[in-house]
Amino acid sequence: MTLRQLPLSPEPPPPPSELPPAVTQLLEEAEKRCDAFFDAGLDRRYPRYLPSNPQKVFAAITALKDSQLLRGNLFCEWGSGFGIATCMASLLGFEATGIELEPGLVELSTQLAQDLHIPVEFLCTSYLPEGYEEVEGIGGKDLLVPEATTSGGANIDITPIYDGLDLDEVALFFVYPWPGQEEFMMDLFQAIASEDAILLIYHADASTTAYRRR
């Protein structure tokens, strides 16, 4: 299986006045809560949390939805943080799930979605399914995939799973990776996503790229 980059050309992010009202409400409330988060110094507790530009993420998800390239409407965000992208995907009609390891961030994102009555699910777990590992490699992190058999030769099930989420049905994955982790996330996507699923990556320079698993 290989990855093919898609010619993703999202429209410029819409100004706030042109966003759907529910998205505007989400972004305004999320901004207030993010400001309170940083004012309270909680970024020191969760130093790996970096917010993306939500308007650009919204434009990219909208472009993929309108492209008719997606084979379904199940959305999964890796490292969902405050859950803004997951909530926007839900407001765009996706069945949206966020994966976040930090319980405190899961609590914040769940509360945000509940207060705004946005139907999403947040799973407090690693984006690495059981048996998959992140190891130091040459020039960055490498993905270690579980072996199909034990040392005794007995068959074991290495199907990647998250509790409550069928990975075979996920049509769109989204991630804002830590700098230098883009290739690792692409390797993870290739290892666990089903054929024709799409990965949307938001980069530190606010650009986006999309890949289809073939």
If pLDDT is split at 50, 70 and 90, which confidence band does 98 have? very high
Give the amino acid at 159: T
Return the SS3 of 68. coil
Give dist(CA 13, CA 63) in Å, integer.
11
Task: Check: CB of residue 82 under 8 Å from CB of residue 112.
Answer: yes
Give dist(CA 91, CA 50) in Å, integer.
22
At residue 16, does pLDDT exceed 80? no
Give dist(CA 131, CA 128) in Å, integer.
8
Query: Which carries the bigger pLDDT value, residue 9 or residue 69?
Result: 69
At residue 5, does pLDDT exceed 70? yes
**Which H helix or E strand runs over 191?**
helix 182-192
pLDDT computed for residue 83 by the predictor: 95
The domain segmentation of the chain, as residue ranges, is 21-213
The fold adopted by the segment(s) 21-213 is: Rossmann fold (3.40.50)
pLDDT computed for residue 158 by the predictor: 61
If pLDDT is split at 50, 70 and 90, which confidence band does 2 have? confident
pLDDT computed for residue 92 by the predictor: 96
In total, the chain counts a number of residues equal to 214
In the numeric block, which tokens belong to residue 145? 């995939």
- Burial of residue 33 (number of CB atoms within 10 Å: 0-12, 13-18, 19+): middle
Model pTM score = 0.88
- Chain centroid to Cα 172, Å, comes to 9
At residue 46, does pLDDT exceed 70? no
| C-alpha radius of gyration, the chain, whole number | 17
**Which H helix or E strand runs over 202?**
strand 198-202
pLDDT computed for residue 88 by the predictor: 97
